[in-house]
Amino acid sequence: MAKDTKDKPGTIEVKSFGTHHVITQPNPLRKVLLRVPESDLDDPVGRAEKALAGLSGEFKEWMTIEADRLSAAHATVQREGFNDKTREELFRAAHDIKGDAATFGYPSAAAAAESLCRIIEHAPDLATVPQQLIAHHINAVQAIVRNRTKLDTAVVAGVLSKQLRGIADEFLTHANRDRPEHLEAILAPSIVPGE
């Protein structure tokens, strides 16, 4: 049975057990929680979405910067080969696009970048990854970003990203056939809800 330690109100309460302590603190953020009537019209989420839409005029430029950073990281890899530094920068550039591109209105670029991240993270030896496979991912991101204004490119970009992911997954599944922990990670679906 747990023993309680309770001092005066407002202090932390600790219940101690054999293997652990459960620490309950007074909610220090309670003061910012306001009860409002159901009729309250304030819509902070709607306001934030409008503000985000207000930034959208800059997204094309931001996405171009991100894509160029990825190409520069790839050019360094081609020049110097894979080492800790070049691998890290290529991964970081791809990972940023994976996270940002959908917000900027380029979901297919995010998908292509995610596929590249998986290659970098799970390939047993990056030196043995076909260089064309990596190059195709870089080129796909650039093409999606540069050609977004054309009307028919959204569908093409989606198909392109999907095909790249299929080829990358096929390569990774084969390359990791004797590495079950990687195989599990490659085949597992994302468990994190976006919202």
Instruction: Map tokens 């023993």 to a residue.
Output: 3
Which pair of tokens denotes residue 38? 């159901």
Upper half-sphere CA count for residue 33 (Cβ side, 13 Å): 4
**Closer to other proteins at the Cβ: 99 or 163?**
99
**Closer to other proteins at the Cβ: 10 or 174?**
10
From residue 166, give the alpha-carbon distance in Å to each of 61, 84, 160: 29, 27, 10
Q: Please, what is the minimum distance in Å from the beta carbon of residue 181 to other proteins?
A: 8
From residue 179, give the alpha-carbon distance in Å to each of 17, 51, 125, 172, 182: 40, 46, 13, 10, 6
Among 75, 79, 90, 99, which residue sits at the site for other proteins (rule: CB under 8 A)? Answer: 99
Q: Which amino acid is at 120?
A: I
Among 71, 76, 110, 174, which residue sits at the site for other proteins (rule: CB under 8 A)? Answer: 110
Residues of the shown chain interacting with other proteins in the complex, contacts defined by CB under 8 A:
1-3, 5, 10-12, 14, 16-29, 31-38, 40, 42, 44-45, 47-52, 54-55, 62, 65-66, 91-92, 95-96, 98-104, 110, 114, 117, 185, 188, 190-195
